[in-house]
């Protein structure tokens, strides 16, 4: 049977990642307890778990809020991602299987199809495929410690719906990085894989910093530059 705290944690985490609670949103303990049909005790424990992941800031006696990251926060987080994901790619190159490489090629093709401009463009689908692509790299890295550190910083792109902030040129560059990274891993070239992954993460950082430093509503920025990230 699922414990109340696990149920509250899973529900709130999904809501944050899905944008139900956007950056800056307040989350009250009483409201969350009522919405999940639980008492405040599991709500508080769930909020503490999410705070460890960096998905909320706990406000004593007032519930919590979803962090509203500053450009300085984004720069720090993405610099950490660059180092960690680069290291993961290097390790993965020595351990990736042919089946992994085949699946990464399939994911590249599916992402390229989903980013095509027009009625069929589906950037939420791109985000799902992108997550699977990077999960393969992290899994192949075979380092529990490295994955634990990555898990503390990789949620930010999901919360900020990064792909929605990409221009067509940004999307094309992201697709090219995915193709090259898949090729580097298939070649079992750790230096190449690390270099591509670092460039990939730094490009994503540039997109978010551009959006964060542009006045106005993020949706207006999306419409102006459009299309979306990864």
Question: What is the mean pLDDT of the segment spanning 109-122?
Answer: 94
Q: Are strands 57-59 and 26-27 parallel, antiparallel or unpaired?
A: unpaired
What's this model's pTM, rounded to 2 decimal places? Answer: 0.78
pLDDT bin (cut points 50, 70, 90) of residue 165 is confident
Alpha carbon distances (Å) from 58 to 124, 125, 228? 29, 31, 30
Q: How do residues 131-152 score in pLDDT, each as one tens digit?
A: 999 999 999 999 999 998 888 7
Least confident of 29-33, 154-158, 193-197: 154-158
Helix 29-36 to helix 40-52 angle (10° resolution) is 110
Give the bridge partners for 57, in sequence order: 65
**Which domains occur in the chain, in start order?**
4-65 (1.10.10.10), 71-225 (1.20.120.530)
Residue 157 pLDDT: 57
Running DSSP on this structure, what letter comes out for residue 65? E
Tell me the C-alpha distance between 96 and 187, whole Å.
10
Position 114 pLDDT exceeds 50: yes
CB-based contacts of 59: which residues, under 8 Å, 6+ apart?
A: 26, 65
């Amino acid at each position: 049977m699922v414990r109340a705290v696990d149920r509250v944690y899973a529900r709130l985490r999904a809501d944050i990642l899905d944008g139900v609670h956007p950056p800056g949103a307040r989350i009250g303990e009483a409201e969350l307890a009522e919405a999940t049909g639980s008492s405040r005790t599991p709500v508080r424990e769930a909020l503490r778990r999410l705070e460890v992941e960096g998905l909320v800031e706990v406000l004593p006696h007032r519930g919590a809020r979803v962090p509203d990251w500053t450009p300085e926060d984004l720069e720090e987080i993405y610099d950490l991602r660059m180092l960690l994901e680069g290291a993961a790619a290097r390790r993965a190159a020595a351990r990736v299987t042919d089946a992994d490489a085949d699946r990464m090629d399939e994911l590249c093709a599916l992402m390229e199809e989903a980013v095509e401009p027009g009625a069929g463009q589906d950037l939420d689908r791109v985000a799902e495929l992108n997550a699977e692509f990077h999960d393969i790299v992290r899994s192949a890295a075979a380092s529990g410690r490295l994955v634990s550190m990555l898990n503390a910083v990789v949620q930010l792109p999901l919360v900020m719906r990064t792909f929605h902030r990409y221009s067509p040129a940004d999307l094309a560059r992201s697709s090219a990085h995915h193709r090259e990274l898949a090729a580097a891993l298939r070649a079992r070239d750790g230096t190449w894989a690390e270099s591509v992954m670092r460039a990939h993460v730094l490009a994503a950082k540039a997109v978010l910093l551009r959006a964060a430093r542009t006045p106005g509503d993020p949706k207006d920025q999306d419409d102006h530059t459009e299309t979306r990230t990864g």
